[in-house]
Amino acid sequence: MRRLFPLLLIWFSGTFVPAALLSAAEATSLPLFQTPIVTGTADQGPAATSAPAAGASPSRLEVAAGAQAFDVIVWNRPLVQFRSALDFPDPKTRAAAAEARIKFLLEERSLATIRVQFTELGGRPGARFYAGPHLIFALTEADLDPAARATLPAAAERIRQRLTRLVADHAEQQSLSRVLRSLAEALVALTVFAFLWLGVARLRTRVIDRLHARLHGTGRSLKVLGQDIGPVVFTIAEFGCRIAALGLVLAAGYVAVTFSLDRFPYTRPWAEQLQELFVDAASDLAQGAVHEIPNLLSVFIIFLVTRGLARVLAGWFSNIESGQGTSGWLDPESARATRRLLVIGIWIFAVTVAFPYLPGSHSEAFRGISVLVGLMVTLGGSGFVGQIIGGLAAVYARSVRTGDHITIGEITGVVQEVGMLSTKIRTRQLEEVTLPNSMLISSAIRNHSRGPAAGVAISTQVTIGYDAPWRQVEAMLKTASDRTEGVLSLPEPRVLQIALEDFYVRYELTVFADSAGRRGEILSRLLGHIQDVFNEYGVQIMSPNFEAQPDAPVLVPKKKWHAAPAKPEA
């Protein structure tokens, strides 16, 4: 109610006070307008010089016919437009003189039945308007709007009706009882509007409370695709209720204001203008909606065709992705990326085709939004497109697939997903690392799941002194791999001497695991078995460094070259 009172006070002041003052002025016979002093006879008031003098030349009318139009407005009512000067200096002065003449006749209550006399003015057809014996003004063909293409008799009849209504409204304003009745009717309209506003506010509050209780009070969640959309639904419903309530209040306010202004003759033109604005706006909206029906139908057809095509392609690629279908040029990973790429491209193409058919697509607002979107895409799209291209390049080059065990930089793990913008990797610490796809084309990728044989390659290194026979070391490393669960027997483990360094030999053992997800666990077991095997055969896993030259050379006698578990050579 605190918010309602100031608005009601402003409305009352702006609507009723001018009408009330005007009614009081008319009732006390005070002059309504300050009439300019214009010379004229006692029986005709200001000089009725809207008609041309007898000697007015036609050329003067022709020159003035192309001049600017000036309205004669009395009591907020546009009565006529003058485009010619006749015997006045210009059309503006002529319009001012006509306004003064009409106001004078209204104050003197000399306006009676309006009649029109057609005659010739300055050598051209014209009409004079009279109120009883009093000449009001004259009209010529040069005053008519060329665009309207109206005839002089039709224009004169419209002007006569306006003058007649002006006389009737002015006479109505003189009745004090009529003014009081109008005030009472306006106050009733104001009261009804106030109660309607309060009722709509209470109804809005009740509806919002019930929505809140239904969505949150029951304890049940509204889930779609596994997501609780209850808060979103409540927010949308609450916003819709508030918009509907505001629309009802504005509609009621419009009706009340129009009704109140129409009660008083002086403000009645304002009510008519409001009605015309509403009718024109509604008519424009209706016509625009009707004209946009073919365009909306085109957009709907484009949407249906695009949706059907996207579903067909998505279904075909999904079969390849799931392994139910086969293709000579696509594997499951490539099919997934191709499906996403084609669906997005189809929808972008559909939006481009449907854009000219969207309502308002040719408006300045739509163009401004298009420029803004284009600027945003230009500024931020380079990185976005780079991520997409990185993911597509990795997929189509088949360097990375879901389930592969890879190493990128310092990150080693199993690929969980290759998305449009990023790739997710699960490390042996069970952490999920998200890498931007740009790294897939800017960094070297070590794929441990790719090789000449099936399985995931696992490599480890060990350094043993020169006093240990290399045949024995190779046999011990292979024995450790045979004892490790999860290591494939085929392909066979491979032992390489990759360096003869200053103090020791560097051996590398490569085996193949049966699961990329268990790679870390299998490597841990393999290292444990290597320690056990070396302890069993008395070979120390150490990298000796000499501070001084030993007395005896550090050599392996030939009889120990095939120490267990190494087998003698044939």
Q: Which amino acid is at 112?
A: A
Q: What is the pLDDT of residues 266-300, one digit of tens each?
A: 777 787 778 778 777 778 778 877 888 888 898 99
The least confident of 134-143, 194-203, 445-454, 536-545 is 445-454
Half-sphere exposure of 564 (CA within 13 A, CB side): 5
pLDDT at 227: 64
Q: What is the pLDDT of residues 56-93, one digit of tens each?
A: 444 344 444 445 888 888 877 788 888 888 778 888 88
Is the per-residue pLDDT at 465 higher than 50?
yes
Question: How many helices (H) does the chain have, and how many strands (E)?
Answer: 12, 15
Mean pLDDT in the chain? 76
- The architecture in CATH of the region 378-450 reads Roll (2.30)
Helix (H, G, I), strand (E, B) or coil at 293: helix
Say if CB 125 and CB 152 are below 8 A apart: yes
Query: What is the C-alpha separation between 525 and 16, in angstroms, rounded?
Result: 95
Using the Cα atoms of residue 137, residue 140, residue 146 and residue 148 in order, give the sign of their dihedral.
positive
Task: Give the DSSP letter string of 401-462.
Answer: -TT-EEEETTEEEEEEEE-SSEEEEEETTS-EEEEETHHHHHS-EEETT-SSSSSEEEEEEE
Q: What is the pLDDT of residues 312-349, one digit of tens each?
A: 888 887 777 776 766 655 666 677 777 877 888 888 88
Query: DSSP letter at 309?
Result: H
Provide the whole-model pTM.
Answer: 0.43
Q: What is the CA radius of gyration of the chain?
A: 48
Query: Is CATH 3.90.420.10 the right assignment for the domain spanning 456-545?
Result: no
Query: What is the C-alpha separation between 395 and 337, in angstroms, rounded?
Result: 7
Give the residue extent of every domain in the chain.
58-173, 300-377, 378-450, 456-545
